[in-house]
Amino acid sequence: MHNLGIMHRDLKPQNLMCEHDDENGIIIKLTDFGFATHFDPDKPQTLALGTNRYMAPELCENRAYDSKVDVWATGVILYVMVTGLYPFSGKAKADIYNAICTKEPKYEKIQGTSTELIDVVKACLNKDAA
């Protein structure tokens, strides 16, 4: 029997809550589990769900995917938090999907932060993650 994992599939700032705890500091909580699912790592998902600007390339291209789509969304969230901009722009859904699948984020926009943060964002937004 395989261990089942969980995918949120709609990570975005609106689905994160922060709470300050005197003992533990800041606690981040996920909300809105409407698209979340259990999954078997040996059986990739195919139902494309999520919010356009936070979707991984495999979702935009209707390819099979796994929990790495949540890692991608985390990279988008970090990029937005640091720059105030989306890493992939476009007005129409098709333009956004095209940018996600074919372009690279402008990492110079996040210069001035730690190299570790830049490395994390780059690792999360890795289109070749397998």
Q: Which residues are catalytic?
A: 10
Cα-trace Rg, the chain: 15
DSSP per position, 68-109: HHHHHHHHHHHHHHHHSS-SS--SSHHHHHHHHHH----GGG
HSE, CB side, 13 Å, CA atoms: give it for residue 57: 15
Backbone angles phi, psi at 21, to 5 degrees: -125, 125
Contact 129, 68 (CB under 8 A): yes
